Structure 1
Amino acid sequence: MTNAAHAAGRRDDVDVEAIVIGAGFGGLRCLHELRSRGLSTKVLEKGTDVGGTWYWNRYPGARTDSESWVYCYSFDKDLQQEWDWKERFPTQAEVQAYLSHVADRHDMRKDIEFGVTVEAAKFDEDTQLWTVTASTGQTYTSRYVVAATGQLGIQHFPFGGVENFKGEAHHSSNWPKEGVDFTGKRVAVVGTGATAIQIIPLVAQEAETLTVFQRTPNFVMPGRNFALTDLHRNAIKRDYDRVWAQVRDQPFGMAFDPVNRISGDTEPATRDQVLQAGWESGGFRYIFETFDDLLTDQECNDLASEFVRNKIRAIVKDPKTAELLCPTNHPVGGKRVPLGHFYYETFNRDNVTLVDVNTNPIEQFTEKGLQTAEGELEFDIVIIATGFDAVSGALTHMDVRGRGGQTIENRWADGAESYMGIMVDDFPNFFTILGPQGPFANNPPVIEHQAEWIGKVITLCEEDGRVAEVSRQTVDDWFRVTQEAFDSTVLAKGEEAHSWYLGANIPGKAHKILYWFGGVPAYFDMLEESESRGFDLVDARSAATVS
């Protein structure tokens, strides 16, 4: 169906044909995709501007862990040449500025409604329409809904009493726009995940004292960030086709070439040199440009893990603190690997203290600070960086109802499942971006492929008058393949370390693999292959067509 033909056949019983929830990377890309296919589309965004994750997470030190030249869109080649990234790993402000530029360049704001918190989305089986309800009570009807709600939007609070605290308490994902002044303050950071690892070095430079509360230490890779020169930027722009080809062929969607090297075939004396080169390169290159079997062979992973532990021991001067910072209950990669920017070095400062909550757990907030098992500690500011109900949380915290009034929370009670991270059985014409069992990878390339796939599915449904729906068997089959891919790695041991990509960081949440670890190339191939099978849809015709 052409765009003109589609426009002529639009239904007049809906407010818009498609509603997209969220105006981050996923929401903006879906808006572009659906509009290009002639669908009237409205984006509903809780914040006051575009950005999604990069709107809300304004904490000090916030920046990407993917290199800037691939943490972006590829659909607009002129945009690639026009935009100049400043750093290897751009800051939150730069990423949000980029997304704002994209929204303006493609005149997207006219189709975005800001300040709208979506509380419910319900499917009517008689009309085959969705009704989306905002917190204000306002409703919107549409034929299709795309949830681009992000993977890390629902905050996790492992202890209570914050209302009793007389000082300042800030969650990293709801940071004040005006910033926070740490000068001369006694500050606590609760958590040592990727967010806290970015916060800690900067706060330590300003605070009178900084106390870090750690449950599980991480394998932190050095970022080795640097400012990009015009020469570097121009070289990337000249070769962008090759850059995106690298991304397409790399298992985690990065612009890295395969090393074609496994540890068992490498001389012992050479292995350390290989790991040292990966460490000095910075970023995720230690994981992906050392040994191809680092995440699949236990012996290789043990070698790489001990190398990092020895780096920690060499950097951190106090032996006791160094050992507390050394991960021992999971392999490198068993939890999401963060990048640090002088993270370990920060623990050499006289004003920084590390507390192990395994031996001295936090019980609750008090008026003056935090009550631990060993006593009360007083603070002026407490930063909460305790993670998120990842991947599935944004939807299970909404009242999303599909066939028979079933909620998505109930459907996922035994663990979140979807087809390729995009569709859920019994939720017709409902799509997710970066949903359960989608790839664990650099997100923007995945988002682009998923948005294009959704666009193709909707075009097919509009042409054939069918409902976009998958069967439970299709979802089960995809989960089985996802589990098999995960089981072929050493990553399952991350469950012992409360890995959020297993749901193991949230008490009471079913532990189930939330990501596809079979590689981006295979995933993209399977998206393309599904097209020849009608996208594996159930052949259900819409009420509008039947009547």
Structure 2
Amino acid sequence: MQKFDAIIVGAGFAGLRALYRLREMGKSVRVLEASGGIGGVWYHNGYPGARCDVESYDYSYSFSPELEKEWRWSERYATQPEILRYINHVADRFDLRKDIDLNTRMDRATYDEDTARWTIETGKGETISAQYLIMCVGQLSTTKAPEFPGQDDFAGEIIHSGVWPDREVTFEGKRVGIIGTGSSGMQMTPVVARAADHLTVFQRTANFSVPAANAPVSDEEDRKVKANYAERRQQALNSPTGLGFKPNRQSALDVDDAEREKVYEAAYHRLGFGFALAYHDILLSKPANDTAAEFLRRKIGALIDDPETRDKLVPKDHAFAARRPSVDSGYFQAFNRDNVELADIRAHPIVEFTPEGLRTEDKLHKLDMVIFATGFDAFTGSLLKPEIKGRGGMQLREKWAAGPVTQLGIGVADFPNLLIVVGPGSPSLLSNVMVSIEEQIDWMSDLVAHADAQGIVEIEAERAAEQAWVAHVNERAQETLYMTAASYYNGAEVAGKPRVFMPYSGGIRNYRRILQQCADDGYSGFALRRAPQKQARGQVGA
């Protein structure tokens, strides 16, 4: 049986960063990646129009000034192919591929309390041992797809946006249906609309979106950013979301209508997803949020010609940004085309597939292709997919039956030497996830280095600490409007999933201070042991 210091699961941005850092520390590391290529979510989400909603210069690694200088982004908001080229460039430049096993899924991981090591079994029948098991599986990597009666009878093609085929998909001459109006559906709609004979978008919930404000990156802008990259990185680290700018400290209610309109207008045309920070209380106060929501409703309405379609597309049932808003490039304008139709499946739900297409309560939609843009089992889906057994055979699925419980989003009691990157309980999807990835991995690596120096073989979250952290995460969420809407932030995206708020809404900067305080206090909330310790389940830290 092969033995390693660490096994990393996932070869996306987080997995590559963890591999680089641990290897620099002299650790023996292997990365297990179930897919045929590296890139994680950016490997699979190759649908037309896929684009990042964080500016390219900020959605990139900061650990190498040389990498920053040599890579040339072509657009302000990079497309999926360009991001995938960047990830592959990083892997080649730092010779990371030699430590990555592709097409290798972790099926099972079992903690050995006698040796303080994990035994990992793969889909290839291999058994591997490691002191640390580091989960870098991403928050949006386990897709969810609806199952409708008659689906197997459909004569056309069904594709999920999150597992886009590794081949050319053509829409010319076809009648296409897109189910879902989150980011994937909103990004692909204008692209598909330009090619297909007819496009039907099946909408259950109208979603807020702001323009991507995308543009080519000029040579002058590239030189300017690279000349001040260190300052730009510091601005991101010291901003609440890692987007590099701080929210307006004024309340949206403390200015007159003309001033507020001016601020919103500027944010609308430049900040993309950052529009939510135009005033600091947009996500804290319903009256403040109403001003932003009303502005966006007016903007969205002005883009849509048909009054009936406009009424269906303008969101009315949730606060702006309580569900993650999209950043689009011509989504609403696509419905002005003669070949684009909106099907309101809240008013007229989908009944069944037929060989010819999709039947809703009011009509049969004849289709040649259906695209499920129905999203993911967020935050926990990929963590709970393999069988992970901790002390006494406790399964992570059992531990998290009522919702995820972590210490700082990193460790879990009863699962020693298991470390989670940007999972539930961390800023993750409420932040520029690249900043969160690097922040957490550097902190975890320092923890491992501390353990090595002290002769520690077992790191385990304490039960009292993880309970306190979950309580804190929920307290911060209750200060916001996030819980007023059903979303993947709170488990509403999957039927039967526990309805708990999962990401940490206290911000990148505050989270980093908490991590630093934990380290300064000798990694408080974590039991650090020089020898393996057998315990009854549920007794850690009690």
TM-score by length of 2: 0.95
CA contact (8 A) 1:186 1:207 kept: yes
Show the counterpart of 1:284.
273
CA contact (8 A) 2:415 2:460 kept: yes
SS at match of 2:129: strand
CA contact (8 A) 1:121 1:132 kept: yes
CA contact (8 A) 2:243 2:274 kept: no
Does 1:433 find its partner at 2:421?
yes
Show the counterpart of 2:165.
176
SS at match of 1:32: helix
CA deviation string 1:279-311 (max 9, x = no partner): 1224123222x2121111211100110111111
Opposite residue 501 of structure 2, the aligned amino acid is I
Show the counterpart of 2:484.
493
**Structure 2: distance between partners of 1:22 and 1:502:** 24
Given the alignment, which residue of 184, 193, 204 partners 1:215? 204
**Structure 2: distance between partners of 1:301 and 1:483:** 20
Deviates more, 1:123-132 or 1:508-517: 123-132
SS at match of 1:79: helix
**Structure 2: distance between partners of 1:46 and 1:77:** 31
Deviates more, 1:363-372 or 1:439-448: 363-372
CA contact (8 A) 1:159 1:364 kept: no
Given the alignment, which residue of 288, 296, 313 partners 1:325? 313
SS at match of 1:531: helix
**Structure 2: distance between partners of 1:391 and 1:27:** 16
SS at match of 1:130: strand
Deviation at 1:479, TM superposition (A): 1.1
SS at match of 2:475: helix
Does 1:228 find its partner at 2:223?
no
CA deviation string 1:435-485 (max 9, x = no partner): 101102001111001111111122222232231101121111111111111
Given the alignment, which residue of 162, 175, 191 partners 2:180? 191
Opposite residue 363 of structure 1, the aligned amino acid is V
**Structure 2: distance between partners of 1:486 and 1:441:** 14
Does 1:456 find its partner at 2:424?
no
Show the counterpart of 1:383.
371
RMSD: 1.5
Given the alignment, which residue of 453, 462, 472 partners 1:471? 462
Show the counterpart of 1:348.
336
Deviation at 1:356, TM superposition (A): 1.1
Deviation at 1:325, TM superposition (A): 1.1
**Structure 1: distance between partners of 2:414 and 2:359:** 46
Number of residue-to-residue matches in the alignment: 529
**Structure 2: distance between partners of 1:57 and 1:347:** 24
SS at match of 2:299: helix
**Structure 2: distance between partners of 1:255 and 1:165:** 47
Deviation at 1:544, TM superposition (A): 10
**Structure 2: distance between partners of 1:274 and 1:109:** 46
CA contact (8 A) 1:24 1:53 kept: yes
**Structure 2: distance between partners of 1:211 and 1:397:** 33
CA contact (8 A) 2:114 2:533 kept: no
SS at match of 1:377: strand
**Structure 2: distance between partners of 1:494 and 1:76:** 40
TM-score by length of 1: 0.94
**Structure 2: distance between partners of 1:519 and 1:543:** 35
Opposite residue 295 of structure 2, the aligned amino acid is F
**Percent identity of paired positions between Structure 1 and Structure 2:** 38
Deviation at 1:362, TM superposition (A): 1.5
Show the counterpart of 1:34.
22
Does 1:110 find its partner at 2:98?
yes
SS at match of 1:358: coil
CA contact (8 A) 1:59 1:172 kept: yes
**Structure 1: distance between partners of 2:153 and 2:414:** 43
Does 1:447 find its partner at 2:437?
yes
**Structure 2: distance between partners of 1:176 and 1:306:** 39
CA contact (8 A) 2:241 2:508 kept: yes
Does 1:99 find its partner at 2:90?
no
Deviation at 1:108, TM superposition (A): 0.5
CA deviation string 1:77-110 (max 9, x = no partner): 1111111111000011111111111111111111
**Structure 2: distance between partners of 1:125 and 1:481:** 30
Deviation at 1:375, TM superposition (A): 4.2
SS at match of 1:539: strand
**Structure 2: distance between partners of 1:525 and 1:215:** 40
Given the alignment, which residue of 156, 162, 171 partners 2:144? 156
**Structure 2: distance between partners of 1:248 and 1:396:** 30
CA contact (8 A) 2:247 2:279 kept: no
Does 1:54 find its partner at 2:63?
no
Opposite residue 107 of structure 1, the aligned amino acid is D
**Structure 2: distance between partners of 1:122 and 1:362:** 43
CA contact (8 A) 2:208 2:326 kept: yes
CA deviation string 1:104-128 (max 9, x = no partner): 1111111011111221111111222
Opposite residue 126 of structure 1, the aligned amino acid is D
Show the counterpart of 1:400.
388
Please show how residues 76-155 of structure 1 align to structure 2 within 5 Å. 76-155=64-143
CA contact (8 A) 1:162 1:169 kept: no
SS at match of 2:352: strand
Does 1:365 find its partner at 2:382?
no
Given the alignment, which residue of 404, 408, 412 partners 2:400? 412
**Structure 1: distance between partners of 2:393 and 2:518:** 29
SS at match of 1:71: coil
Query: Any gaps of 5 or more consecutive residues in structure 2?
Result: 535-542
Show the counterpart of 1:526.
514
**Structure 2: distance between partners of 1:471 and 1:372:** 51
CA contact (8 A) 2:11 2:31 kept: yes
**Structure 1: distance between partners of 2:27 and 2:383:** 24
**Structure 1: distance between partners of 2:111 and 2:157:** 42
Show the counterpart of 1:8.
none
Deviation at 1:131, TM superposition (A): 1.4
Deviation at 1:257, TM superposition (A): 4.0
CA deviation string 1:182-209 (max 9, x = no partner): 0010000000001111110100000000
CA contact (8 A) 1:193 1:218 kept: yes
Deviation at 1:179, TM superposition (A): 2.1
Opposite residue 483 of structure 1, the aligned amino acid is N
CA contact (8 A) 2:407 2:462 kept: no
